[in-house]
Amino acid sequence: MASKWIERVTGSLEQKKQYKEQQARIEALPEPYGAVATAFQRYLMYHGGIVDGETLVRMGGDFADLWERAAADGTPVRDVVGEDPVEFADTFAEAYTGRRWIDKERARLVQAVDDAERGERS
């Protein structure tokens, strides 16, 4: 009973556990994979803007899988991310749909323009 109340306030405890496990997987990567994966994680947290826990956990698991596979295969980092690391990160983040913090502001912007347009026609 108490866990339901706690989860209502803090979010899913299972998702937090999965997130911590994914973080441990990234931290366990050999170099240079660990450093690069950590840099990408930081970028994705700032850029991705995803606020849906389920989507974040799914993306984090896939991200850890990608870097673990690259490290196991000995794939050069540049072969994973390509010539433009920012484009790689942006494309990776776009593959995961979910609620983003900017969605509310986008809706407000559209509404403001719609409201203004209706006011111009009156």
Total-model pTM: 0.71
- Cβ atoms of 64 and 26 within 8 Å: the answer is yes
Q: What is the CATH number of the domain that holds 75?
A: 1.10.1900.10
Domain hosting 33: range is: 2-121
Per-residue pLDDT reduced to its tens digit, 3-52: 666 655 556 788 889 989 999 999 999 999 999 999 999 998 887 667 67
Half-sphere exposure (Cβ direction) of 114: Cα atoms closer than 13 Å: 6
What's the total number of domains in the chain? 1
Which is higher by pLDDT, 25 or 55? 25
